[in-house]
Structure 1
Amino acid sequence: MKDAICGHQENRLTTGGDCGASEFDAGLAQDGRLQEEQKRRELQNEVECASWHLTVRLAADCVLKDKERREAFLKRRAAQRQHIMTRVADYAKREAFLKRQAAQRQHIMTRVADYAKREAFLKRRAAQRQHIMTRVADYAAWHSSRASGAASAHHDACGGLCDVRHSSRGERRSVSIPWQRVADYARREAFLKAAAQRLCHDAWRIRGVRRPQEGKRRSVSTS
């Protein structure tokens, strides 16, 4: 434009007159359109540049958001895995606890059954002891009755000769005793004592037995 103005001025100076207002106005108008076009292009470039920067920024923001989302997703998945592992560990502990509890219950039930068996065994043994003591008492009563009956029969048979008679001097006379019967009584007494000892020995053996076999009871000899 400056060049154009300078050219018009040169024409003016050289010709010594006006080159025409229309041509000058046309040049000014053309220069104005060029400036507007240049401004439009500059504005368009600025808009494109701003758009490009905005696009880049949006892309960067998207990448950042994607990265944050990815990190958040990984954190959630790690937390879920940790929660699952914790629950698995809890299940394992619970299973172990239930197994120990079941074993303890089984042990307690076994001990209760053992106590019940022991109680039944003690009751049977007490009944056996009572039975043996009753038989021993029966033997003793029978022996006492037999001995008293034999003594009365002997007294009746000897006519009172075995009674102790005192002389005038206060001396005791000899007593006539049937020695055969005395020997029989002695043998009978020894037999009864041996039988009683055998019964007591059986009773003590039963007392010393720890545990009898199931379904079997010790038979007591009646001889």
Structure 2
Amino acid sequence: MKVAIYQMRDRRDVKLNIEAAYTKIVSTKADFFCLPEYFPIPSDYKNYKTVEDAWLEISQPTIKMLKNASTKFGGYIVGGSIVEKDDKYYNTCFILKDGEIIAKYRKINLVDEEIKLGISAGWNTISIKTDFGRFGVLICADCLDSKIVEKTANKNDLIFLPISLTDPSHSKVEGHPVSERVAKQFDVTIVKTSRITFDGIGVRSAVVTPEVIYEAKTYDDELLLVELKV
């Protein structure tokens, strides 16, 4: 089983971010491809736009791109953005296969900034059956809530963890202590996929198994390919 992590650097431009993700997806051979949290949204977008703007201007073309890329990529794609449903906005991660959205996960444990921006919390965890076992998704701060983690980890073999620690005010994170603890406690593999700002702020992506950590080599745009035993 081959897992692809795209540790993506923000281009400060919606179109360029979407194009970069598409190009990387369709040129990669793997069973899974994971993108970072908020990958199409420029890191300073929140300073002059709203979540409604993000849904209309960014998320809709992003979904179109992901569906298109999924027709060319042979495996599962994990990636998302801000999504509107019933007049509420969610930090949503899509799972795509063969050009179709087969599942979606809405972030449950929101950070204060997301709440202030008007994002609503999700409520359900997911578990998707594949030939390689079952996998689920946690988005960034979800991994800090023990109940969400336990509910997700107990029914999956693999957990995708898109993150976006790109705010300069966020405390610096060294290594992968939370992912390591979850991997060992629940005997699961964590696929942690980070975003990097234009100025190089962010953390390294990694695939964390109970025994081994496969880590990105840089704090820059990087594709990490990891072969895992099923």
Higher relative contact order (CA 8 A, sep 6+): 2
Fold match by TM threshold 0.5: no
Larger radius of gyration: 1
TM-score computed with the length of structure 2 as normaliser: 0.16
Considering fraction of residues, name the structure with more helix. Answer: 1
TM-score computed with the length of structure 1 as normaliser: 0.17
